[in-house]
Structure 1
Amino acid sequence: GLYRCRGGRGNPVYYTEDTSNRPVVTLYPNWSEIYRGETITVRCEIHGGDTEWDYEWETNSMIKAPNQNEYRIRSASSSNSGNYRCKGRMKSSQHETTEWSDSVTLTVSDNEPRPVLTVSPSWLSPGASVTLNCEVEHASAGWSFYWYKAVPDLSEKSSSYELLPDGSGTAQDSYIIHGQTHTAGYVCRAGRGDPEYHTDHSQPKFVWSAGQLVSVLSPDRVQHFTSDSVSLTCEGNFTEWRVRKFSEDGRLYSDCRRMTGSTCDINTSKSDTAVSAVNITVQNDGNGPILVSPVHPVTEGASVSLSCSLRTQQILSNVFFYHNDKLIQNDPRGELKISAVSKSDEGFYKCQYSGRESAQSWMSVKHISLLNHQLSILLFASCRAT
């Protein structure tokens, strides 16, 4: 038969639980949240002895578990969410049962996880390394990562994705691209489980590079007011030009509306946040300020000034300046001066005036050693040509 023991002490007597084979419910994999479509196994384990058991489940989920020691859910949905507990009944003596196990909660989310890709740096010094980072909710819970290059199809105004070398199912949530020289877009996605469940692709993120071209923006600032006129001029030894407008997520919108030689004239609108070798951000708040910041990366060691402007007034005073959302200056000058820029000055900047904030813009810093390296390559190429 089935034997048990327990211990007690004190007055009144305090008893331990007896040594019956109390079952334990486990989830495999044991993730805090399961997404719709994933495979999950709910298992009832009874430790000790060689007894053969029949199993009974109790759950408040909409779908009842079969009377087996293992309940495999091949495509989970929110109807599987609930508390699960089990007990065992001896096959040789049906009246002998274990106690109920403790309950385990299974949570299945109908939300589809969407990975978020970040690229650093977002503005490229040709030849530098680019780091991609892919983040998913509960990223530590078993995800592996897939890395792709977004290849624009200009005729279809869309992109196709090509797997990067060794970019299939990496354990690390980061991927480094060495020697990047041109503008390129990237996406990532994540997978986990057996069979493997895949997330959707992330929104594309682009690393922007002027390459051999120089793009001059007039007025020379990143942020603009609605209805401003902006001119983008491409400089380089080419006879034909094409300027295209992309959204921040890399979607192609259109060619330049009015092209005169190598200059594209743009009337900014409320929806314009465009990138075409330079970033353009439009202030939607007609009474709010804009941050006046450099369009192109600042060379390490150089000086730079940031200021705040309204549509009706060029330079303001009593302005708050923020770097990566941290207040760094508030004084009557209304100008943020950095006498010798370092890599630590790179990041997002914004200004605040009379309780209204500008949009934030990224200021990129070029490493001077990389510039010297590029110059030495040019000199070497010139000597070879000579």
Structure 2
Amino acid sequence: MGTQSSQRSDAVTLTVSAEAQAAVRVSPQPWLTEGDSVTLICEVTGSSTGWTFSWFRDDDHLSDSSRGAGGSYTLSPAALQHTGVYTCRAERGRPAYYTKYSNTQPLWITGVSASVSLVVSPSRSQHFSSDSLSLSCEDQSNSTGWTVRRYTDRNTEDCSKLTGSTCRIDSLNTSDAGVYWCQSESGEKHHPLNITVHDGDVILLSSVDPVIEGDTLTLHCLHRSTNSSILRADFYKDGSLVQNQTTGEMNIATVSKSHEGLYYCKTERGQSLHSWISVRVSGSGQISVFNILSSLLAACPYLLATVVLLFKCYRARGETSV
């Protein structure tokens, strides 16, 4: 019947690489207090299906597979012993094909302490380069021996220009950005705070500490030259525009857990860096619930005695009427 030929198909580009690369990222943040939750996500560049993942902390393989599934490794709740440098690797097929090891992702978990706090002045998480910054460890129990330490892109070290429990940086550089905390002589770590340093003209002015649920959150967009709020600013949360107005200020009257996220502001003069704003449950709320339960338990014997007396009175009246 003769030979027939179809039209030529659409072209498909096939890219072959010597070895695939895994990459790790953290959500919501790599600095947290014990009891918080954190998830590490492992992804293979340019590919998303058919992979199984292995996790490593300080080069030791993590055998607890119940925490890792689908390329994620969750610590909930996080504990002090989870502090370390994490990497991941993916594999698929038989015989197994392995990716390169991912980038390193440090994770810092510090202890809960009501008496020790890291005080930052000026009290904000974002700072302009060339500005001065003071950080000090304040202990309500009046004990000594606390040191301000930090983790930056370079390494873990004592804060430069340290005097006692106070660190002062006279002229900030972008290399000073990192996680700062208070550390005792015995190695206890408390109150981690993330400090960012911006070379640009605009920073986001927000509280350096987590916001307590139910409180008011106020954000400002600050300009370098005037050191005051910019009158027109747009505010973003997790990459989406949440408020644009002419006051240069954003207010959330009653903060809830849903307001937790990554914020930044944008103006005609520039854009700020991103800052993670944490929302914590009020400790007083937890105490009040405990007090209510305690009161109910304490009142139970009296309530029971009252019911018994009322029942006896009711029976006595019934016998009298007869």
TM-score norm. by structure 1 comes to 0.60
Please say which structure displays the higher CA radius of gyration: 1
Aligned to 1:211: 112
Structure 1 residues 196, 345: closer, same or farther in 2, change over 3 A? same
* Residue deviations 1:38-60 (CA, integer Å, cap 9, x gap): xxxxxxxxxxxxxxxxxxxxxxx
Task: Tell me, in whole angstroms, the C-alpha distance in 1 between the residues paired with 2:109 and 2:172.
Answer: 21
Structure number having the greater helix percentage: 2
* Residue deviations 1:137-161 (CA, integer Å, cap 9, x gap): 2443321111223xxxxxxxxxx32
| SS in structure 2 of the partner of residue 312 of structure 1 | coil
Task: Tell me, in whole angstroms, the C-alpha distance in 2 between the residues paired with 1:335 and 1:187.
Answer: 40
User: C-alpha displacement at 1:354, in angstroms?
Assistant: 1.9
| SS in structure 1 of the partner of residue 147 of structure 2 | coil
| SS in structure 2 of the partner of residue 372 of structure 1 | helix
1:114-133 correspondence runs (5 A):
114-133=22-41
| SS in structure 2 of the partner of residue 147 of structure 1 | strand
Q: What amino acid is the match of 1:295?
A: V
Task: Tell me, in whole angstroms, the C-alpha distance in 2 between the residues paired with 1:169 and 1:143.
Answer: 16
Of all paired residues, the percent bearing the same amino acid is 38
Large movers: runs of 4+ above 6 Å: 13-17
Structure 1 residues 348, 129: closer, same or farther in 2, change over 3 A? closer
Structure 1 residues 329, 147: closer, same or farther in 2, change over 3 A? same
User: C-alpha displacement at 1:164, in angstroms?
Assistant: 2.7
| SS in structure 2 of the partner of residue 268 of structure 1 | coil
Aligned to 2:199: 284
Aligned to 2:102: 201
Larger mean CA deviation between 167-176 and 211-220 belongs to: 167-176
2:274 is the alignment partner of 1:360: yes
2:219 is the alignment partner of 1:306: yes
* Residue deviations 1:87-129 (CA, integer Å, cap 9, x gap): xxxxxxxxxxxxxxxx998631146513122233545353233
Q: What amino acid is the match of 1:243?
A: V
Aligned to 2:83: 184
Q: How many residues align?
A: 267
CA RMSD of aligned residues (A): 3.4
| SS in structure 2 of the partner of residue 109 of structure 1 | coil
Task: Tell me, in whole angstroms, the C-alpha distance in 2 between the residues paired with 1:242 and 1:333.
Answer: 40
> Alignment partner for residue 242 of structure 1, among 129, 132, 147?
147
Structure 1 residues 201, 298: closer, same or farther in 2, change over 3 A? same
Aligned to 1:31: none
Preserved CA contact (<8 Å) 1:115 1:136: yes
Structure 1 residues 295, 145: closer, same or farther in 2, change over 3 A? same
Structure 1 unaligned regions, length at least 5: 1-7, 18-102, 150-159, 381-386
Aligned to 1:172: 70
Aligned to 2:307: none
1:29-68 correspondence runs (5 A):
none
1:52-201 correspondence runs (5 A):
107-110=15-18, 112-149=20-57, 160-167=58-65, 172-182=70-80, 184-185=83-84, 186-193=86-93, 194-201=95-102
Preserved CA contact (<8 Å) 1:147 1:168: no
**Larger RCO: Structure 1 or Structure 2 (Cα < 8 Å, ≥ 6 residues apart)?**
2
User: C-alpha displacement at 1:202, in angstroms?
Assistant: 2.6
Larger mean CA deviation between 112-121 and 161-170 belongs to: 161-170
Preserved CA contact (<8 Å) 2:152 2:175: no
> Alignment partner for residue 208 of structure 2, among 295, 298, 307?
295
Structure 1 residues 370, 177: closer, same or farther in 2, change over 3 A? farther
2:249 is the alignment partner of 1:335: yes
Aligned to 1:220: 123
Structure 1 residues 255, 289: closer, same or farther in 2, change over 3 A? same
* Residue deviations 1:327-369 (CA, integer Å, cap 9, x gap): 2222222111111111221111111222411111111112348
Preserved CA contact (<8 Å) 2:211 2:278: yes
Preserved CA contact (<8 Å) 2:31 2:194: no
User: C-alpha displacement at 1:319, in angstroms?
Assistant: 1.4
Task: Tell me, in whole angstroms, the C-alpha distance in 2 between the residues paired with 1:125 and 1:257.
Answer: 24
2:230 is the alignment partner of 1:325: no
Task: Tell me, in whole angstroms, the C-alpha distance in 2 between the residues paired with 1:338 and 1:135.
Answer: 35
Larger mean CA deviation between 303-312 and 202-211 belongs to: 202-211
Q: What amino acid is the match of 1:318?
A: R
Task: Tell me, in whole angstroms, the C-alpha distance in 1 between the residues paired with 2:205 and 2:105.
Answer: 27
Q: What amino acid is the match of 1:268?
A: L
Structure 1 residues 105, 300: closer, same or farther in 2, change over 3 A? same
Larger mean CA deviation between 336-345 and 175-184 belongs to: 175-184
Aligned to 2:177: 273
